[in-house]
Structure 1
Amino acid sequence: MRGSGVLRPGWAALLLVLVAFLHPAAAGELSRKDIEKNFPPPLVVGEKDDRLPVWPILKQQAGSYEVFAYAFESLDFAPIPGFGGTPPDLLIALAPDGTFRDVKVLSHKEPVFLEGLGSEPLFAFVEQYVGLSARQPIRVGRPNARAGGAPPQTTVDGIAMATASTRTINQSVLASALAVARGKLGFGAANVGLNVQAKPDLYDRLSLAALVERGWVRRLAVTRAEATQAFRGTGVEEAGEGAPGDVLTDLVVALLDVPSIGRNLLGEARFAALMRELGPGNHAVMVLSAGPADAPENPIGDSFVMGAVPDRITVSQGGLVVNARDMAVERRGAGLGEGLPPGDWTILRIDSAAGFDPSAPWTLTEKIVRERGQILSEKIAREFSVETRLPADLFTKVAVEGEPDWTESWRARWPTLLGLGLMLAVLVPVLVRQKGLVADARRFPAFRLAFLAVTLGFVGYAAQAQLSIVTLMGLVRAALRTHDFAFLLYDPPSLVLWAFVLASLVAWGRGTFCGWLCPFGAMQELAAFAMKPLKIRQVAVPPRLDRALRLVKYAVLAGILGATAAASPLADAFAEAEPFKTAITLSFLRTWPFVAYAVGLIVLNLFVYKGFCRYLCPLGAALALVGRVRILDWIPRRAECGTPCQLCKVRCRYGAIRPDGRIDYPECFQCMDCVTIIHDPGQCVPQVVAKRHAKRIVPRPLAVSR
């Protein structure tokens, strides 16, 4: 009978996952002294940004300090929970051009690395980011993927047995770097996810004067007097000789991808060629130096490097600098549209990834730099800007839905998911049709052994889909601290298996996973089968002791989840009660105490069949508790079961059949031996007796233990 007193302890243990969401997410805590230890002299740590938790790392160049990198903790920008439910914390140094200067692991709770592979492989993994660019999507490949031909600019080598963890680390690195890039570097800026393009068919023939009058083409002119005023008090007010009204710099600024601007300034042929090279969604800004040929301040003069990001010209929007790079268009003899003044010019490309919205106001800024001092000169800069406002009806805006981070994991693991789906598609019909293969006492044991071998080899070692108490710990940590359960999506095979197991718990109870889909459970059964010729005698555990030992796994479960909820550092140590990480995830490649423990449990299994599963497994305890909601009494029984027949009870190696014939479903591992017996007229004692007396009997339900 299902007594409410039986259910209450189980639900109480499970409710540890659903306690109040009152704990705030953790934040980075590195002090200036900590940052200085990671960036020693000659580098200098600047003042922490008052808007973002970012430290500028400075390097002296020609007597002045320039930004070498921006240092920050991933936890402040992308607290993505790892497989243990706790976000890793990484120290990242991002160069002004978006290149990773350094990436270090500050802290993590990834189970596969804690007392497993060790943290060294993780440290080596993040070192691969140095030199890569946050402007490009970076994916985690297989181990040695780059040596196998994967592009080294966009791929980092994965770590065997740590697929989910490395993908989480990758997303933490990229998401936090892009967050800083939006605030400090200008790419991936405020309008990420919004594609703004000029309407290609909207064109009016306009002269340069008309474009200037409408404000669609802008001029940025700085006179000597204006520059003197800007540099007042610096000691470099004057630079060279000339009248106050002389022009130091005069720039023409225009957004060329708008047909009414670009076609009129460049002409039909050059505009068409530009748009083909530019590509959809990208933008082109022309900057032309219209001042006198001898103007002292010409940012596009002989020193300008084609294809580079200009040193003295920046495009910004909403207070963020937008990445604008010279398109390296051939200038010699190219010629420009009618009416444009002669002079040096460039076309700056702004990629769609920059989040630039040309329908909103944007600014072009020119920096004028002067030097003070003879020996250790000091550079002093002043900026001069012009704003462009274009009508919104020149553009179309399309919201672009970006893919969630975890979708790459699902695409990469589809062969594994297909194999797992095929396994489940084979298993379910076999278990449902009890009078089919299950009833065949000759073929069914061979099928079961073969299936368990596939579970161990494919589910365990190939797919790395050994379910674990660690997932429940992650759920507790996420519920209490991060409130983010997306970490489950980074391990598709395990998530699919969890979904199936939860469904099978409702239908059949604990046994489907523990008896068929647990790789460590399969390892124990296969070891017992291999040792069968040795005829090792099983130890008969006294009934009273057996009942007491079965409660231990619930105490282990409560201790692990309780320590996790209390944020105790002992939680991960308690989780080592499971040997799954040692035997399956790490293939016994651990220090000897862990290996000895796992091997010892396999040896114990030879004397006390699946003793770990029956007495110690915390995951089995959790599944047994949830399995009490089971809706099917799927094991057939006869009135004679238990009284007088005890055959099924004697044959049950798990001790899941009580003396009175009732099934103890929370302890049943769905091996189907009793089902095979009851459908076999040659084994089922009541059927054998009935046959002798020429009677026909039919299995009927019997009261069961829930």
Structure 2
Amino acid sequence: MRGATSPDNAHPSPRPSPERERGPAPHLARPGEGARRALQRILLLGILLLLSLRAGAGTLDRAGVERFFPPPLVVGERDDALPVWPILKQEAGSYEVFAYAFESIDLAPIPGFAGTPPNLLVALAPDGSFREVKVLSHHEPVFLEGLGSEPLFAFVEQYAGLSARRAIRVGRANARASGAPPQGVVDGISMATASTRVINESILNAALAVARRRLGFGAAANLGLKVEARTDAFEPLPFADLLARGYAKRFVVTNGQAEAAFRGTGVEGRAEGPADVPLTDLVFAYLNVPTIGRNLLGEARFAALTRELGPGDHAVLVVSAGPLNPLGEDFVMGSIPDRIAIQQEGLVVNARDMAIERRGGGMAGLPEGPWTILRIAAQAGFDPSRHWSLSEKIVRERGQILVERVARDFAADYALPESLFVREKPEAGPSWTDSWTARGWELGAIAAALGLLVPVLSRQRGLVADQRRFGAFRLAFLAFTLLFIGWYAQAQLSIVTLVGLVRAALGGGGLNFLLYDPPSLLLWAFVLASLVAWGRGTFCGWLCPFGALQELAAWPARRLGLRQVAVPPALDRALRLVKYAVLAAILGAAALASPLADSLAEIEPFKTAITLFFVRSWPFVAYAAGLILLNLFVYKAFCRYLCPLGAALALGGRLRLLDWIPRRSECGSPCQLCKVRCRYGAITPSGRIDYPECFQCMECVTIIHDPGQCVPQVVARKRGRTIAPRPVAAE
């Protein structure tokens, strides 16, 4: 029934065979239409070809490991329980373990800047020190596009000789040459701060996993236990009671205690006050327990913190009330603090500042000095129900020309009642199931919204036919899409997912990464189903948060009479081809394993406007804001001309089964009302629907069902007759 739907029988019907389709003589194709269709077919075939390819990658086998550890070293048998290769060395007639070699991606697959985890070969000695670290693979744009990989190779070489028992942070470039402690700092790389931090966390978290199981230290007995704070454990308590119960801990080091620790080092006698006056005065607490976190942070901040923490992650608050700033004067948000560390059972736990909003105060009684919330990743193996400690490093200097730093560590113990936690042996199963359980209510809300949307759009003589009520429904649904699906659930679909699919297809990887974002996967499933049924418009017109943001921004401008620019038809047709070229460039770069794909994907403003709430560097913010401003004058210009995801969906929409938009034979000749009203330019002068450009706003459907708006019905009623619909040739 393609192009032959009568308004009196407006339900979608399957596409007919060419032998059965009849109608007036076909119209001549518009200029450029042939080129656009050819380009679309080529791109669609190219995408299907890319996704059909497979290239084996896998992890290192024995021969691969032996290339890194040649004779006289011997590579032993790979561990069945842990992906570790023992590296053996002959000593006094017998073989001793020289190191345990493993790939970081097997133990700590932390996504890098490009969304793909780096993979490093790590050799850990039996005493917990690093024998060697080598880069096996990475997709960090700053190294692939700009600096080259050599600085990264030199960066990981610094780990040789360092110990996994101690915290290791990434300092500034030449940090160790400037006097930083050689055991706790590796030199950073200018312009690659984010990438080197990911590399550092990958190395440390993977090494700690091996240390706990193979080196005899750390919480080996607790491996496999799932320890979570009880969500029902809430009791409103003042700050004094939190301290009294030990839920919040005060950690004080006086001038006298510091002097005693530095005695005999040549830096004693530096105290600036009486011996009993605090030099450092900290309050710290584990925040995941609601009785602690909700009381200290307040309802809103605790809820925000809970949303931001990943499954299995932990948060620790540290606030200073003393004269010594534990974060250091040059502290950078999002980094690992220099002077404070969390330790548990002989290991320093990798804890990073969460870089969250720092304005506003906490509960009454909480100090107002410098503070941080430290995130401990699930991979670190931290058990909050067991004893742990917070340590602070106090540093003094001596010498004027060759400055020497002398440090002393002070620690305070922390322990919470086991009744505040749920400890259980996790069932054998994939780790992504935790994400689905944690976000169950979000999935329910989105599923309910989708369940409401389908009958509204499919029953075209229902709500859609009532212009006033349907207009209110559309605005409300777009607000839900922006506020809940986009800003709250962070389920903005993106071309980045297709880039990941291409990389997985060509790299032989799995698609498990999709399972860790349940709301987005639910939307992808619905969008693919609606794509086959109705075409591109369901997502682009109803479920895209950035599209909703544009439409909501344009609504008051339209009410205020802001005049829009009419794009000339020839230019409009040419501009619509641009998004297909952008799509081809992005997927082509991904297929070639080029990091340029990630840079090109920034043409989408989704990350800036939706994921990061416009909290980003000014060029990205200016670009996203500029597109919203352009939308006020050229309606949804980005969606129509630039969006690579829209181009991919338009190509997939060629598989559409239904021609669901009703048309009359009078549409286009003589009536042009729907074409004039369509702000997307998805109705041709002939009256046909250009489905790849249709955003399913349903305005033309409302018009054709309204006897007061549909011109053929108005004319027929005045002449006292009814309209006999005739088929219209399909687009």
TM-score if structure 1 supplies the norm length?
A: 0.55
- CA–CA distance in structure 2, aligned partners of residues 459 and 597 of structure 1: 22
SS in 1 for 2:648: helix
Q: Deviations over 1:159-180 (max 9, x none)?
A: 967959999xxxxxxxxxxxxx
SS in 2 for 1:449: helix
Residue aligning to 2:53: 20
Structure 1 counterpart of 2:288, one-letter code = G
Residue aligning to 2:554: 528
Cα gap change, 1:453/1:698 in structure 2, threshold over 3 Å: closer, same or farther? farther
Cα gap change, 1:430/1:10 in structure 2, threshold over 3 Å: closer, same or farther? same
Shift of 1:135: 1.1
Residue aligning to 1:639: 665
1:685 aligned onto 2:718:
no
1:149 aligned onto 2:267:
no
- CA–CA distance in structure 2, aligned partners of residues 615 and 116 of structure 1: 33
Structure 2 counterpart of 1:147, one-letter code = L
Shift of 1:697: 2.8
1:429 aligned onto 2:455:
yes
Cα gap change, 1:27/1:634 in structure 2, threshold over 3 Å: closer, same or farther? same
Q: Deviations over 1:497-523 (max 9, x none)?
A: 111000001110000000000001001
SS in 2 for 1:583: helix
Of stretches 481-490 and 603-612 in structure 1, the one that deviates more from structure 2 is 481-490
- CA–CA distance in structure 2, aligned partners of residues 620 and 66 of structure 1: 59
Which residue of the other structure, out of 651, 660, 676, is the alignment partner of 2:686? Answer: 660
Structure 2 counterpart of 1:21, one-letter code = R
Structure 2 counterpart of 1:702, one-letter code = V
Cα gap change, 1:666/1:482 in structure 2, threshold over 3 Å: closer, same or farther? same
- CA–CA distance in structure 1, aligned partners of residues 131 and 488 of structure 2: 35
Matches within 5 A, 1:526-605: 526-605=552-631
Matches within 5 A, 1:203-282: none
Residue aligning to 1:368: none
Structure 2 counterpart of 1:636, one-letter code = P
Structure 2 counterpart of 1:689, one-letter code = V
1:622 aligned onto 2:648:
yes
SS in 2 for 1:607: coil
Shift of 1:537: 1.6
1:135 aligned onto 2:161:
no
Shift of 1:80: 9.3
Matches within 5 A, 1:242-641: 402-641=428-667
Shift of 1:33: 14
Q: Deviations over 1:83-111 (max 9, x none)?
A: 97744436778897999999999976599
- CA–CA distance in structure 1, aligned partners of residues 545 and 655 of structure 2: 25
Shift of 1:467: 0.6
- CA–CA distance in structure 1, aligned partners of residues 444 and 285 of structure 2: 22
SS in 2 for 1:601: helix
Structure 2 counterpart of 1:148, one-letter code = N
Native 8 Å contact 1:82 1:487 kept in 2: no
1:11 aligned onto 2:44:
yes
Native 8 Å contact 1:656 1:667 kept in 2: yes
Residue aligning to 2:103: 73
Unaligned stretches of 5+ residues in structure 1: 36-45, 59-64, 168-351, 354-399
Native 8 Å contact 1:609 1:654 kept in 2: yes
- CA–CA distance in structure 2, aligned partners of residues 49 and 151 of structure 1: 51
Q: Larger radius of gyration, structure 1 or 2?
A: 1
- CA–CA distance in structure 2, aligned partners of residues 91 and 151 of structure 1: 42
- CA–CA distance in structure 1, aligned partners of residues 74 and 598 of structure 2: 35
SS in 1 for 2:632: helix
Of stretches 533-542 and 421-430 in structure 1, the one that deviates more from structure 2 is 533-542
Shift of 1:10: 3.9
Shift of 1:672: 0.5
Cα gap change, 1:414/1:631 in structure 2, threshold over 3 Å: closer, same or farther? same
SS in 1 for 2:467: coil
Q: Taking every aligned residue pair, what percent have the same amino acid on both sides? A: 64
SS in 2 for 1:557: helix
Shift of 1:136: 3.0
Residue aligning to 1:300: none
C-alpha RMSD of matched pairs (Å): 4.9
SS in 1 for 2:468: coil
Residue aligning to 2:161: none
- CA–CA distance in structure 1, aligned partners of residues 707 and 501 of structure 2: 48
- CA–CA distance in structure 1, aligned partners of residues 130 and 307 of structure 2: 24
Residue aligning to 1:365: none
Shift of 1:57: 11
Cα gap change, 1:564/1:160 in structure 2, threshold over 3 Å: closer, same or farther? farther
- CA–CA distance in structure 2, aligned partners of residues 142 and 163 of structure 1: 16
Native 8 Å contact 2:228 2:312 kept in 1: no
Shift of 1:128: 8.0
Q: Deviations over 1:321-378 (max 9, x none)?
A: xxxxxxxxxxxxxxxxxxxxxxxxxxxxxxx99xxxxxxxxxxxxxxxxxxxxxxxxx
Structure 2 counterpart of 1:18, one-letter code = L
Shift of 1:146: 4.9
Native 8 Å contact 1:83 1:474 kept in 2: no
Cα gap change, 1:471/1:166 in structure 2, threshold over 3 Å: closer, same or farther? farther
Cα gap change, 1:48/1:654 in structure 2, threshold over 3 Å: closer, same or farther? farther
Cα gap change, 1:553/1:47 in structure 2, threshold over 3 Å: closer, same or farther? same
Shift of 1:594: 1.2
- CA–CA distance in structure 1, aligned partners of residues 138 and 683 of structure 2: 45
Native 8 Å contact 2:40 2:580 kept in 1: no
Native 8 Å contact 2:608 2:615 kept in 1: yes
Shift of 1:23: 4.5
1:89 aligned onto 2:177:
no
- CA–CA distance in structure 1, aligned partners of residues 225 and 611 of structure 2: 29
Shift of 1:11: 2.5
Cα gap change, 1:158/1:698 in structure 2, threshold over 3 Å: closer, same or farther? farther
Cα gap change, 1:99/1:164 in structure 2, threshold over 3 Å: closer, same or farther? farther
Residue aligning to 2:235: none
Cα gap change, 1:94/1:446 in structure 2, threshold over 3 Å: closer, same or farther? farther
- CA–CA distance in structure 2, aligned partners of residues 621 and 674 of structure 1: 23
Cα gap change, 1:13/1:138 in structure 2, threshold over 3 Å: closer, same or farther? farther
Matches within 5 A, 1:169-208: none
- CA–CA distance in structure 2, aligned partners of residues 78 and 517 of structure 1: 34
TM-score if structure 2 supplies the norm length?
A: 0.54
Residue aligning to 2:269: none
Shift of 1:141: 9.5
Shift of 1:674: 0.5
Unaligned stretches of 5+ residues in structure 2: 3-17, 19-33, 89-94, 145-190, 209-217, 232-283, 293-303, 315-423
Cα gap change, 1:520/1:7 in structure 2, threshold over 3 Å: closer, same or farther? closer
The count of corresponding residues between Structure 1 and Structure 2 is 456
Shift of 1:25: 3.6
SS in 2 for 1:554: helix
Structure 1 counterpart of 2:589, one-letter code = A
Shift of 1:599: 1.0
- CA–CA distance in structure 1, aligned partners of residues 130 and 727 of structure 2: 67
SS in 1 for 2:448: helix
| Higher relative contact order (Cα pairs below 8 Å, separated by 6+ residues) | 2
Residue aligning to 2:729: 703
Which residue of the other structure, out of 683, 695, 704, is the alignment partner of 1:669? Answer: 695
Cα gap change, 1:564/1:158 in structure 2, threshold over 3 Å: closer, same or farther? farther
SS in 2 for 1:18: helix
- CA–CA distance in structure 2, aligned partners of residues 682 and 536 of structure 1: 26
- CA–CA distance in structure 1, aligned partners of residues 312 and 706 of structure 2: 48
